[in-house]
Amino acid sequence: MGMTMIEKILAAHSVQDELKPGDIVNARVDMVLGNDITTPVAVEEFNKIGVDRVFDKERIAIVPDHFAPNKDIKAAEQVNMIRKFARKHEITNFFEVGQMGIEHVILPEKGLTLPGEIIIGADSHTCTYGALGALGTGVGSTDMAAAMATGKAWFKVPPTIKFVYKGELKPHVSGKDLILYTIGKIGVDGALYKAMEFTGEAIDNLSMEGRMTMSNMAIEAGGKAGLIAADEKTEEYLKGRTQRDYTVRNADSDAEYEQVIEIDVSQIEPQVAFPSLPENTKGLDEINEKIEIQQSVIGSCTNGRIEDLRVAAEILKGQKVNGNVRCLVFPGSQAVYKQAMNEGLFDIFIDAGVAVSTPTCGPCLGGHMGILAEGEKAISTTNRNFVGRMGSPGSEVYLASPAVAAASAIKGYIAGPEEVK
């Protein structure tokens, strides 16, 4: 019997001939990631281990991005702590303000996540790297500390659900809509500690940005990982980004899956996830009420890449943000920021009345630069809409694609791109 993607990757990293769900392995990792919230705890635990150096200074990435630029004294002290750690251990991949971006945008951008690799990160959205055919998965800060010391981590091999997306997408339907629809179909615990493999012609036709959006939100269904087979698009994306060798480990044709779910994408409308869970999804055609918004957020590790900004700019061009709405755009990295600026997207945004931010996670987690007051509603291209996620527990967050977020900013209520004239 063949193996799934996650089984093949874990087997290769633990020198096993084959693995099955439930097996326990101690696997070598290719990259260990942390941010400004999770790394301080990892540093404290690392120091307790008693080793005097990290396992490989090239294989650790630390990105202060959640409260960046530092929003207060505590945030500044946390970053100062991990900055000193990075300098002491000569961590090559330490990226902060001026060079940084949102961790899950810049690691693929810089060629630090490759097909067939294992990347663990003390951040739940590390599953983003499954879009490149890698095993990316979130861990706790203590696991991060142990991996920085040993270069290894323990895994329980999860079963895999295979999703087959058939058909052709409608206009303005994107990877964000596919993953929101999927989470709405199986629920926020529908893939709990299971790997999700995204396959089918609709996935083959998605851009790398669209694939990263889908893999990014696997965790919102409880998934251990969200994997997409590496193909020609993956290889084209990686050209010029890395000098490292890598081995593609796609699923065997006779791999055994716990479940196979087929989805006809031609029936999917642009999706909106209502408060306060990502599974509360509706197609735009199912919304029978006018939901007025006070804020529209376009960006994050889910939708802060150049394609996302282009989609938003196409809709906002020649338009004005509604006077009752604050529209925020925050590019996922310095490179995305510069490219958007050079393409004239910032001119479009600013002329429309949009505020353009430096790269940061701030608005997504209610950290800063976009906090909601009680009673306010926001439409956002981020990944979570829990109670109080973006500010007051009395506020509400609706999740959607960049196209819907941009159109809604113009109309002042949740709207589709076809409503913008």
3-state secondary structure 13-80: HCCCCCCCCCCEEEEECCEEEEECCCHHHHHHHHHHHCCCCCCCCCCEEEECCCCCCCCCHHHHHHHH
Q: Environment class of residue 341 by beta-carbon count within 10 Å: exposed (0-12), middle (13-18) or buried (19+)?
A: middle
- Going by C-alpha positions, the residue among 279, 178, 273 that lies closest to residue 222 is 279
301 marked as binding residue: yes
Question: Which phi and psi (to 5°) does residue 399 adopt?
Answer: -95, 140
Sequence-distant (≥ 6) Cβ neighbours of residue 47 within 8 angstroms: none
364 is in an annotated binding site: yes
For residue 127, say whether it is annotated as part of any ligand binding site.
no
Q: Are 174 and 403 in contact (CB under 8 A)?
A: yes
Task: Identify whether 124 is preceded by a cis peptide bond (ω within 30 of 0).
Answer: no
Which helix (DSSP H) or strand (DSSP E) does residue 349 occupy? helix 345-352
Residues 229, 251 contacting (CB under 8 angstroms)? yes
Q: Any idea what DSSP says for residue 289?
A: S
From the DSSP assignment, how many helices (H) and strands (E) are in the chain? 14, 18
Binding site, by residue number, is: 301, 361, 364
Binding site for [4Fe-4S] cluster, by residue number, is: 301, 361, 364
